[in-house]
Structure 1
Amino acid sequence: MLYLVRMDVRLPADMPPAQAAEIKSREKAYSQSLQRDGRWPHLWRVAGEYANYSVFDVEGHDELHELLSSLPLFPYMDIDVTPLARHPSAIA
């Protein structure tokens, strides 16, 4: 199943920079492993915001929830999930 996911990151203003850097490093490694295995085929930054739009290709809702809740930045995110279905006018 395909999902369009918007993630807005809201790190606490008083978070020590070293802690923020460590979390971001773990986030990058985890997200890149999911991209490499094909479950996170698209990752796009929202210009001017600490946010992204991503497309996930997973078995279903439970797998998506597990992947998202395992993100190191998950506790600091607002997430909006939209399940996607093939459009009848799409050529591919």
Structure 2
Amino acid sequence: MLFLVRMDVRIPHDLPAVQVQDIKAREKAYSQALQHDGRWQSIWRVVGEYANYSIFNVSSNDELHQLLQGLPLFDYMDIHVTPLACHPSAIAS
């Protein structure tokens, strides 16, 4: 199942810099592991914002929910999920 996910990150300004750097490092490692195994198919930065659009390919809504909750930045994110379906005019399957 394909999902388009928008993630807007809102880290509190009073969070200690050392803690922020640790969270960001764990976030990068976690997201790259999911990219390597194919479940996080692509990630695109939103210009001028601390946000991204990503495509996930997972087996269920529950799996996506579990992966998103595992993000180290999850507590600091607003997340919007859009399920995707094949378009009948698409030339690629």
- Normalising to structure 2: TM-score of the pair? 0.98
Q: CA offset at residue 65 of structure 1?
A: 0.1
**Hey, what's the Cα distance between the residues in 1 that align with 2:77 and 2:40?**
17
RMSD value, Cα: 0.3
* Corresponding residue for residue 87 of structure 1: 87
* Corresponding residue for residue 75 of structure 1: 75
* Corresponding residue for residue 42 of structure 1: 42
Structure 1 unaligned segments of length 5 or more: list them.
Answer: none
**Hey, what's the Cα distance between the residues in 2 that align with 1:33 and 1:27?**
10
Give structure 1 regions of 4+ aligned residues with deviation exceeding 4 angstroms. Answer: none
* Corresponding residue for residue 5 of structure 2: 5
Structure 1 residue 61 and structure 2 residue 61: aligned? yes
**Hey, what's the Cα distance between the residues in 1 that align with 2:73 and 2:60?**
22
- Report the number of matched residues: 92
**Hey, what's the Cα distance between the residues in 2 that align with 1:7 and 1:26?**
16
Structure 1 residue 14 and structure 2 residue 14: aligned? yes
* Corresponding residue for residue 23 of structure 2: 23
Q: What SS does the aligned partner of 1:30 have?
A: helix
Q: CA offset at residue 3 of structure 1?
A: 0.1
Identity %: 71
Q: What SS does the aligned partner of 1:24 have?
A: helix
Structure 2 unaligned segments of length 5 or more: list them.
Answer: none
